Structure 1
């Protein structure tokens, strides 16, 4: 049995949690092998309340390999080896962009600096990538982005799926970076060389904000 957690307090006002979430929770109640573990489902939103969110990186759904996903897009538990291929490419681009990358795939230290690592589906059946893509989680993504549209923030949209949410990002001061997805199938079509990490930091510094320590350096 999968018992999903209550809404994260800072986001509980979103209509999704009263209208759609009870149905999703009921549908998953008897579903086997749901990832990530239930207590991690809202980890990204719990780590980044609206007022603390400075950068948003949109993912698609959690890693379907047991032991990998812990609720933050692209992030894995620190002992995961080898890294997922998309994350390997993210670190390769970061090394080219910044000259370093984190020592492991645990990106929770990004979240602690205000980087919301949000998947557009918050659950996945083990071994079935995209298995919950139509469960209703997308409504939450839309409402989160609308809530964050009240102030200028930086958005990193990798691939067509994430870029489909770009029309909702209408704040005139927002930084919106779009490129190919870091997956092995598309990384060489515009992800490599896109320099998203330094570009976000340049934007933050220009606004008088503290840049993100992307590398734990």
Structure 2
């Protein structure tokens, strides 16, 4: 299938993509875009091409139309995270054909300087959140040479094939779960189905009951893919089964068995003990 034409993007026009939408009170299924702003503008400008082609049939469905109208209305009064150009950063960093592991979060971080479109990830100089500290702690247990970094940017792992996807892709500042059950979950389930339909086996890491229910809902064929379930890495629940789950090594053992050594994920690429950035650059410049 040919790639969609993707006009030149600017952050100003991207930021205007949601704010330009207006709700038509006379219908629940049609939200006409502002003049000269195509309804799919944000998706065309910021979504990775493989995901855009796979998901473009969702953009004009009633639930997605309502969702974008809701977010446009929210933007009139509140700050929304992540910034518009980062809502779909997961799709640019991890093309559909490159997905090896899926790690499903629930809601973007809702404080300033945190969310940038990848579940569990934050950009420097933001302090590493508690859930990510526990992810690092588990990595250290499974890979003793791993030294937890002082930053929480998971971009290199995303570029290496780890899809860090949240069930809901936006949130109102300082109000957790404020955009849940507005339509994002239906959209991200469809993204997960796109992964599950691939012939090449992938690993789904379902941490916490919400993630497990989502994975169960999309109907993953466990003869083709591997699902790893455990408690969530949150400080409130990590000691109830996340810490010690062995998921990172189990994922790599399975990937190596299915796809050879090249199928593995280099989970230690973020280690503070790495003295060179060459490994990270190799992934980010593919």
Instruction: For 1:67 and 1:146, locate their aligned partners in 2 and report how far apart those are by CA, in whole Å.
Output: 31
Identify the residue that residue 107 of structure 1 maps to in structure 2: 154
Identify the residue that residue 206 of structure 2 maps to in structure 1: 157
CA deviation map 1:29-73 (0-9, x unaligned)? 132210001100001122222211111000001001110110000
Instruction: For 2:80 and 2:91, locate their aligned partners in 1 and report how far apart those are by CA, in whole Å.
Output: 19
Identify the residue that residue 47 of structure 1 maps to in structure 2: 93
Measured after TM superposition, the shift of residue 74 of structure 1 is 0.4
Q: Is contact 1:61–1:119 with CA below 8 Å preserved after alignment?
A: yes
Identify the residue that residue 85 of structure 1 maps to in structure 2: 130
Give matches, 1:141-180, under 5 Å.
141-149=188-196, 150-151=198-199, 152-167=201-216, 168-180=219-231
Give the secondary structure class of the aligned counterpart of 2:134: helix
> Is 20-29 or 147-156 further displaced after alignment?
20-29
| Larger helix proportion of the pair | 2
2:248 equivalent to 1:202: no
How many residues matched? 216
Identify the residue that residue 187 of structure 1 maps to in structure 2: 238
Instruction: For 1:40 and 1:68, locate their aligned partners in 2 and report how far apart those are by CA, in whole Å.
Output: 11
Q: Is contact 1:155–1:174 with CA below 8 Å preserved after alignment?
A: yes
Instruction: For 2:168 and 2:124, locate their aligned partners in 1 and report how far apart those are by CA, in whole Å.
Output: 22
Instruction: For 1:195 and 1:33, locate their aligned partners in 2 and report how far apart those are by CA, in whole Å.
Output: 38
Larger Rg: 2
Instruction: For 2:98 and 2:237, locate their aligned partners in 1 and report how far apart those are by CA, in whole Å.
Output: 32
Give the secondary structure class of the aligned counterpart of 1:185: coil
TM-score, length basis structure 2:
0.72
Which portions of structure 1, spanning 4 or more consecutive aligned residues, are displaced by more than 4 angstroms? none
Instruction: For 1:109 and 1:154, locate their aligned partners in 2 and report how far apart those are by CA, in whole Å.
Output: 18
Q: Which blocks of at least 5 consecutive residues in structure 2 are unaligned?
A: 1-14, 19-41, 275-286
Give the secondary structure class of the aligned counterpart of 2:228: strand
2:179 equivalent to 1:132: yes
2:253 equivalent to 1:213: no
Identify the residue that residue 24 of structure 1 maps to in structure 2: 67
Measured after TM superposition, the shift of residue 18 of structure 1 is 2.2
